[in-house]
Amino acid sequence: MEDTQLSVAVWRPAESWQAEDQAVELRLKLYRLRVRNAITGVVVSLVIAALALAIQPYFYVVGGLFVLNAVRLVVAGIRHQIRFGRWLPAAASLLNGNPGHRVAARIVAHKGDRAVLAVGPTHLQVLPVNWGLRQVIARTGEITMVGPDSEGHAVAFVDGVPAPLPAKVVPAPESTTAEPVAPVSLNGAEDPVPNWIATRVARLQWIPQVAVVVVLAGIVVEAQSSRAVMIYAVTFAVMLAIVAILVALMPSDQMRLPKLLAAGQWQAHPVTVETWKGDGRRPVAELVLLLGVPGGQHRLVIKYASAELTANISATGTLWMVGMPKDRRGAAVGVPGYPIVSAARFA
Residue 176 domain flag: no
User: Could you tell me if residue 266 is inside a domain?
Assistant: yes
User: 179 lies in a domain?
Assistant: no
Q: Are residues 69 and 161 in the same domain?
A: yes
Q: What is the edge-to-edge ordering of all strands in the sheet holding 106-111?
A: 101-104, 142-146, 153-158, 161-169, 122-126, 114-119, 106-111
Ordered DSSP codes for 29-96? HHHHHHHHHHHHHHHHHHHHHHHHHHH-TTTHHHHHHHHHHHHHHHHHHHHHHHHHTTHHHHHHHHTT
Contact 193, 336 (CB under 8 A): no
The pLDDT of residue 282: 78
Note whether residue 149 is domain-resident: yes
Residue 127 predicted with pLDDT over 70? yes
Tell me how far apart the alpha carbons of residues 301 and 342 are, in angstroms, rounded to a whole number.
11
Name the band, by pLDDT with cuts 50, 70 and 90, for residue 222.
low
Residue 296 lies in a domain: yes
- Together in a domain, 32 and 106: yes
Residue 318: closest CA among 268, 283, 275: 268
Pick from 283, 223, 227, 267: nearest CA to 60: 223
Cis omega (within 30 of 0) for bond into 128: yes
- At 57-111, the pLDDT tens digits run 656 767 787 888 899 999 999 999 999 999 999 999 998 878 888 999 999 999 9
Q: Do 289 and 245 fall into the same domain?
A: no
Looking at residue 177, its pLDDT comes to 85
What residues does 124 pair with on adjacent strands?
Answer: 117, 169
Residue partners of 119: CB distance under 8 A and separation at least 6 = 103, 104, 105, 143, 145
Among 267, 263, 122, 279, CA closest to 190? 263
What does the pLDDT look like over 321-331, one tens digit per residue? 997 766 557 88
pLDDT digits (tens, 9 = 90+) for 4-38: 456 789 999 877 666 678 888 888 998 998 889 89
Contact 300, 48 (CB under 8 A): no
Residue % of the chain over a pLDDT of 90: 45
Asked whether the beta carbons of 24 and 11 are under 8 A apart, the reply is no
Q: Of 86-90, 240-244, 252-256, 282-286, which has the strongest mean pLDDT?
A: 86-90
One domain, residues 95 and 123: yes
Strand, helix or coil for residue 58: coil
Query: Is there a single domain that holds both residue 335 and residue 225?
Result: no
Task: Return the pLDDT at 4.
Answer: 47
Same domain, 35 and 163: yes
Q: Pick from 309, 233, 300, 283: which is nearest to 59 by CA?
A: 233
Report the domain count for the chain: 3
| Whether pTM exceeds 0.75 | yes
Q: Are residues 122 and 236 in the same domain?
A: no
Residue 7: predicted pLDDT: 74
8 in any annotated domain: no
Residue 328, amino acid: R
CA distance 57 to 49: 11
Any idea what DSSP says for residue 180?
Answer: P
My answer on whether 29 and 149 are in the same domain is yes
Find the domain containing 23 and state its range.
18-169
Q: Is residue 1 part of a domain?
A: no
